[in-house]
Amino acid sequence: MLYDDSLPEDLDAACSAALMADIACDPLVPALRHDFYYPTATLTRMCTVGCASALQSWESSVRSACGNDIVIPAEYDLDASPIVIPASRRYIYEFTCLKESDVFCGPVAALTAFFTNPGVSVFNYINELPEGAVKPADCDLCLAARLRLRSGSPYFDGPVVASESIYQTLTSSCGITGKPATTSTIDYFITQPSPTESVCGSTTYQIQGGDDCYSISKAKSVGTAWMLSDNHLGAYCHGFPTSGSLCITNTCKTVTVAVNTTCTAIAAAANITEPQLLAWNPVINPVCSNLDMMNGTTLCIEPPGPKLPPAPTTNVPPVTPTTAAPIPSNTAIGSDKPCGRWYEVEAGDYCNLVTLKFAISLEDFMFLNTGINSNCTNLFAKESYCIQAVGDINNYPGRPGYNSVTIDPNESFTGVPFTMLPNATMTLDPRPTQLPLATGVRDDCAFYFKGDEYQYSPDVFGFWNSNCEIAASNYNVDFDSFVAWNSLTTNVTDAACVFQIGQRYCGSWGLPPTQTTTEEPAPTGTGTEPQPPAATHEGQPADCDGWHVVASKGDSCGSMASDNGITVDQFYAWNPAVSKDCVTNFWLGQAYCVGRSSVGGTPTTTSSIPTTAKPTPPAPTHTGQPANCNKWDVVQSGDGCASMASDNGITLDQFYNWNPAVSRDCVTNFWLGQAYCVGVSS
């Protein structure tokens, strides 16, 4: 069953020998998987009374030789006994060989899986449905037996199946009685000692009547989040207990979070940095965007927890004054803010010299001394001016970062704590209702327009003849395609061609082709040039006198240029509707310009088909239609493959043979407005 290189090297010899014992079973048994289906012939050969007995004896001998004292690694970082190996192997064998009324249950489950998801399961041995097979009943006893064994087992998905009561639901709905699920437990995991309850190493506080999360953290000078974390309670005071004791460990000097305050304001008021505030209060996220959820709670503005003895220090004058300097008697007008340092201006001083000397910006200097004009031309000698603020100048009233924060821990909180705010509600704005498509309009267009947008009166048509022609011109669409996409019943240029208000129409079925232009001006045609033998695209030169019709799928832009003695660049320049990769607008049965008298050459019309003019499809087509197709039918609303074949006097097989892109169930590639071959020349 096992190889010695699959066992831990330090395993006891007797235990290792028991695990390595030969088992009288089919060679397939060691490789069985619980999530595979096996055919009946394999199960008949493999599932024997002798093998089942041998596996049970193997498990008993391993249990006797190894016991629960020997440890091997197991999944999920758990320590396990070697009994895990034979015990799980025997379960897989019993599950695979399960029978009900002398019928193997695995093939029944496989057949059910095939009917439910044919060909989906990678574990399904059934490649095709057996002849005469029928789907097993939902209450088949084999399916119930497999579910019963799974729900009662501690292996694989057994605990999940048991927790969801799937087997009990099945037996109840199917009326199966007398077969309860028996749940077993895994007995081979090494028991871990239960963790001892932690003992509070600091102050213990007994919760009193009327106390809440906010009042306790404030009264005991502890950060609210620290108190909740130290006592394993819910965040943001959720579900705070009304009785019991609390361990008060991480005490600190605190500040109560006011409504609409900021980390910058709190740090400035406490004379600490924002990184310090975040480090002492890990509940605040790195960008301080969750402070509004802490209204009414307390934060630490000094390191929380037991205080270590301070290290010896040397008194060094502070770089930034923390108290105001005495006000001199000769202060200048407007220099009346709290000031950390004064300077008496001497003769010859000017603003830029003073600011450079004392490393203060001109903006800050003028803020502290408001009597100075905007040009700083009224700096008077023998008068004292403030050249340094007390603390952070941005905390002064009138500065951009000013926000009043009270550091006094006894200051009462005004406002509503975040957790006591009512749940927010909102009413979504109604989404605009899309106008319906007009009857017969394709439902796969790239762009649609409202019929309301094209309701012009005939007196403003200009050189257009109808609203339909205006719309087709705006979207740069040929008239035949426009008629097909919108199932129009009149010509685009007919004045009676109109759009219905409140409905949408197709403006472009695909993305518009990339148009290319050449610097060479197009000569004016003389009227004697050869006419194109088939439909053409827009943009071809007026003096084109050589044409080539695409006759087969083997034609390409390169071959067409080579056959007609021109370069590929000339072909693209004379046929700007065709994309440079010869994919967009290179259509079967379409005529393309391959010669111009203005650049030399003899006027020609070439084609790989007979010289007689070949009918062209009236709408876009799929690939694969025969080259000798001479009759097409365009799909209208309500058409099907059978009706199209019947209407044109051909068989359904002929329709599918001449239109190989269409699936045999007439679902794939049978599109509204598309042309399909319904006749060929002999």
- Of 153-162, 320-329, 596-605, 630-639, the one with minimum mean pLDDT is 596-605
What's the per-residue H, E or C state across 115-149? HHCCCCCCCCCCCCCCCCCCCCCCCCHHHHHHHHH
pLDDT interval class at 351 (50, 70, 90): very high
Q: Which fold has domain 513-616?
A: Membrane-bound Lytic Murein Transglycosylase D; Chain A (3.10.350)
Token couple for 490:
């009149």
Instruction: Name the segment(s) of the chain with CATH classification 3.10.350.10.
Output: 203-300, 339-390, 513-616, 629-680
Q: Count the helix, strand and coil residues of the chain and give each as a percent rounded to the nearest 5.
A: 30, 10, 60
d(CA 489, CA 674): 16
User: How do 629-634 and 675-680 pair as beta strands?
Assistant: antiparallel
- pLDDT of 540 reads 87
**Options 2.170.150.70, 3.10.350.10, 3.40.50.720, 3.40.50.1860; which CATH number does 203-300 get?**
3.10.350.10
Q: What is the b/e burial string over 376-386, where b = at least 16 CB atoms within 10 angstroms of the residue's CB?
A: beebeeebbbb
- pLDDT of 122 reads 46
Instruction: Just give the CATH number of 629-680.
Output: 3.10.350.10
Report whether pLDDT(331) > 90: yes
d(CA 530, CA 192): 96
d(CA 253, CA 72): 51
pLDDT interval class at 391 (50, 70, 90): confident
**194 versus 623: which is more confidently predicted?**
623
Query: Do residues 267 and 279 touch, judged by C-beta distance below 8 A?
Result: no
Q: Which amino acid does the sequence have at 76? A: Y
Q: What are the angstrom distances between the C-alpha of 281 and each of 179, 250, 286?
A: 58, 11, 11
- pLDDT of 520 reads 45
Query: Do residues 1 and 88 touch, judged by C-beta distance below 8 A?
Result: no
**595 versus 581: which is more confidently predicted?**
595
pLDDT interval class at 104 (50, 70, 90): very high
Q: What is the per-residue pLDDT across 249-291, written as a single tens digit (0 to 9) for each?
A: 999 999 999 988 999 999 998 999 999 999 999 999 999 999 9
pLDDT interval class at 180 (50, 70, 90): confident
**184 versus 373: which is more confidently predicted?**
373
Mean of all residue pLDDT scores within the chain = 83
How many residues does this entry show for the chain?
682
User: What percentage of the chain exceeds 90 in pLDDT?
Assistant: 33
- pLDDT of 601 reads 45
- pLDDT of 88 reads 87
Mean pLDDT, rounded, for 468-476:
89
- pLDDT of 681 reads 81
258: nearest Cα among 428, 411, 456:
411
Q: What is the per-residue pLDDT across 536-568, written as a single tens digit (0 to 9) for each?
A: 888 888 888 888 888 776 788 888 888 888 998
**258 versus 194: which is more confidently predicted?**
258
Query: Do residues 121 and 112 touch, judged by C-beta distance below 8 A?
Result: no
pTM for this predicted structure: 0.34
Report whether pLDDT(515) > 80: no
**Options 3.50.50.60, 3.20.20.100, 3.10.129.10, 3.10.350.10; which CATH number does 339-390 get?**
3.10.350.10
- Of 210-219, 429-438, 493-502, the one with minimum mean pLDDT is 429-438
Mean pLDDT, rounded, for 519-530:
49
pLDDT interval class at 197 (50, 70, 90): low
